[in-house]
Structure 1
Amino acid sequence: MSSMRNPERSRPVAIWLFIVAALVLTMVVVGGATRLTNSGLSITEWKPVTGALPPLSDADWASEFEKYKAIPQYQQVNRGMSLDAFKTIYWWEWGHRFLGRLVGLAFGLPFLVFLFTRQIPKRLVGRCWALLALGGLQGAIGWWMVASGLTQRVSVAPERLMTHLGLAFFLLAALLWTGLEAWNGPARRRSRGAWPQIALVLAVLVYLQILLGALVAGNDAGYVLNDWPLMGGRLFPQDYAGQGLWDTIAHSIPAVQFHHRMGGYLLCICAAGLIYAAVTGRASSTPVRRMAVVLGFGVICQAGLGIWTLMWATPIDLGLAHQAAAALVFGLATGFLWVARRA
């Protein structure tokens, strides 16, 4: 029976969801470039419709530049910047926002078509509506993040950056999961062994590590304490504590980098255990074993890339590679959880 005639699955719908997931991954990488080039505050207004067009004349460029000159980042960091330099950072931020609009169209228009032609399995219609709503929310959170850097700060608030990136990764996982469901149909039975719980714990740990990495990025903590395995020549960083618990968790540069390192070590230990269990045949099925090994090595390689990035003081190419690899590892963790639940 073809997938088009099976009401429980639809491979065209699955392909569409996987394509949107790839676009979200691209947007995550471009967002990382926007952050690493300090371009995120170059557009000081949120115009969801009219903002789709970039400046088209010298007068438009002059107007945008004057708006940027009014914010603290220009006055305290980039005073004296040329118009050409401003155009460079503007294009990064405009490209990031353009991709956001493209993702919205790539999801919304086919969704309506699939909904009208009843190609989406009934059990996935509600999930697709939720994905559409979360995509809209992501745009609003993006502006909420940018707004935090327009008045009192020279960069966006780290916790808002973490929220924005965290929702992007959640959307990525949800798109992949829903695509797998659309491709394969509902499970005939659920696995009752320990592997679904193990896979869930690993997926949560990878996600939390990504959030900790967002706090590192939001505090520019990858540019300092660049020795390893020590931190500033110490096992435990100096000046760890901030002014209170939340300030320590979200705003202390030594603390956010220390937490991200410790999360990486914990994940590497879990990854080694995962590989050992898989190669000794303790996984419940061959697909689970294969996914376990791939995920385990992915985590370890990502940790190595993170150390390399840190010790080179986060150059743009390594920073982008580290963020893209984080998305790939989280995608693997999502796939591993999906497989483990159905094996």
Structure 2
Amino acid sequence: MFMFKPNVLAMVNKQRSSMAIRQYSKQLPKLSTYTPKRSIFLTPAIRNLQKKSVIPEKAPFRVDLSDKEYKEIFGGQIQPQLVKGFDSESALKIKKSQRPIDCDVKVAYWLFFVASLVFSIIIIGGLTRLTESGLSITEWKPITGAIPPLTQADWEEEFNKYKESPEFKQLNSHMNLDDFKYIFYYEWGHRLLGRAIGIAFVIPMLYFLYNRKYTSRRVNFRLVAMAGLIGLQGFIGWWMVKSGLDEDELLDRKSKPTVSQYRLTTHLTTAFILYLGLLYTGWGILRENKYLKNPQEAIKGIKILQDPRLYKIRNISRLLLVFAFATAMSGGMVAGLDAGLIYNTFPKMGETWFPSSGELFNNHYLHKNDDPRSDKIWRNLLENPVTVQLIHRYMAITTFTMIMASQWYAIKLRKQGILPRSLSKSMHGVAGFAVAQVALGISTLIYIVPIELASLHQGGAILLLTWCALFNFKLGKPRYAILRAVKMLAEKKPQVRAQ
């Protein structure tokens, strides 16, 4: 909804307001008029309204508006109680009750803080997987589970529960209580940080939803969606752990006691989506505040982004983001199957570039009720460690090649004066992280997945994805409401705020 700042209460249609203006002409102060230049950012209804007078703040001006006119002028849903007999007092009430178009920058900094926590929990989750600690806690207690065992008796009870799990029976029967404490604290720390993220996000979010001056409706919808995703992530985490505790499921997929690679990758995917959602929302808030603070400079930047010659590089940035994300998710499949522990050579896989077809596709990975003719290919693509590693290798090579080609194209656009320096720097950052990530990936493979290198490789994937997202965001055009507000402010027109 359009909201009026002080000194501007309403802009009315010439035809419908002429009678009302004559009626109150003796009561009103002299009206200032202006005829602004035609703007592509304004709807036809508002262009017509701008040709008429600006009504002073205290003028008792009233005019009846039809539903269509009200919606064209003020946007959003129709409020029937204000359609007939709209007046200045009603306009002020609307302004006080509605949310602003832009959010407070504090909201952006809070979102970045939560994103840093999500970054940390992804790293800790990777360490939990690498140390094979994820199945040490065999129960899901969202509230009471935040407190670890405090006494010797509590530790003995928790250890006895672990002794009933398939992992202890088949792999860790040699463990004593001290060994158990080591893996327990990894998983407990991971879950505790997850709870902390929920608290750090939900409590401030509820405050922002209650207090109308910090966030817009658009951002509120995103906040609620991300809160739901955090709750869902906790459920997915337990769903993943449960797959490693079910003996029948382990037998069906012919697996040692470990979590399902499908569920692990789902858990990783939702974490990455949450992370990107936090970043994109925070970046958007900062950019919109910057635009509204300095509209003249904003207009220059917007004109650059509207250059049709950037259309191709904008699509390329989206493609890079998709491929970087997909490559990271294929890495989740590799981690779930421990596929990095085989073929520890590069660029060849052993003595050849590709393993034999019999090794890539065989019947060993078929489940009990699978049809060999229809299920053999997809089972091997998703459950055969050799095939999964091959896919991850060549997805990484493809993504790296695309990034290098995009870097060359960005340099070309920069030399032609088409690509701004800030965007060129962002592309350089993408290329730099891609080189580092490939180096870490090859080192992790050659040295047979040491925990330190593997964790750095996972962190590199997040950073590469972050820079791909940043490059894509910087190339994105501002939303329509911000364009309109910036245009009005830049031309010193009535300062209208849009919902």
Instruction: Tell whether the structures are fold-level matches, with TM greater than 0.5.
Output: yes
Matches within 5 A, 1:1-343: 7-118=101-212, 119-152=214-247, 153=250, 154-185=257-288, 191=306, 192=308, 193-238=311-356, 239-242=359-362, 243=366, 244-281=376-413, 284-342=419-477
SS at match of 2:103: coil
Mapped contact 2:100–2:215 kept (Cα < 8 A): no
Bigger shift: 281-290 or 317-326?
281-290
Q: What is the Cα deviation at residue 223 of structure 1?
A: 1.4
1 CA distance for matches of 2:106 and 2:421?
Answer: 27
2 CA distance for matches of 1:105 and 1:27?
Answer: 14
2 CA distance for matches of 1:52 and 1:108?
Answer: 17
Bigger shift: 190-199 or 252-261?
190-199
- Length-normalised TM-score, structure 1: 0.95
1:87-139 Cα offsets, whole Å, 9 max, x none, are: 00000000000000000011011111222222112221101100000111111
2 CA distance for matches of 1:129 and 1:324?
Answer: 27
One-letter code of the match for 1:291?
Answer: S
Over aligned residue pairs, what C-alpha RMSD do you find?
1.7
Q: Flag structure 2 segments of 5+ consecutive residues without an equivalent.
A: 1-98, 251-256, 292-298, 367-375, 479-499
1:278-297 Cα offsets, whole Å, 9 max, x none, are: 22225632222111111122
Mapped contact 1:216–1:222 kept (Cα < 8 A): yes
2 CA distance for matches of 1:15 and 1:146?
Answer: 33
2 CA distance for matches of 1:159 and 1:326?
Answer: 19
1 CA distance for matches of 2:199 and 2:323?
Answer: 32
Q: What is the Cα deviation at residue 298 of structure 1?
A: 1.2
1 CA distance for matches of 2:105 and 2:377?
Answer: 48
SS at match of 1:41: coil
Bigger shift: 212-221 or 277-286?
277-286
Give 1 or 2: higher helix fraction: 1
Mapped contact 1:195–1:284 kept (Cα < 8 A): no
Q: What is the Cα deviation at residue 79 of structure 1?
A: 0.8
2 CA distance for matches of 1:183 and 1:55?
Answer: 44
Q: What is the Cα deviation at residue 339 of structure 1?
A: 0.5
Bigger shift: 244-253 or 180-189?
180-189
One-letter code of the match for 1:241?
Answer: F
One-letter code of the match for 2:333?
Answer: L
- Length-normalised TM-score, structure 2: 0.66
One-letter code of the match for 1:170?
Answer: I
Q: What is the Cα deviation at residue 6 of structure 1?
A: 6.7
Q: Flag structure 1 segments of 5+ consecutive residues without an equivalent.
A: none
Mapped contact 2:410–2:419 kept (Cα < 8 A): no
Q: What is the Cα deviation at residue 7 of structure 1?
A: 4.3
Q: What is the Cα deviation at residue 155 of structure 1?
A: 0.3
1 CA distance for matches of 2:234 and 2:377?
Answer: 29
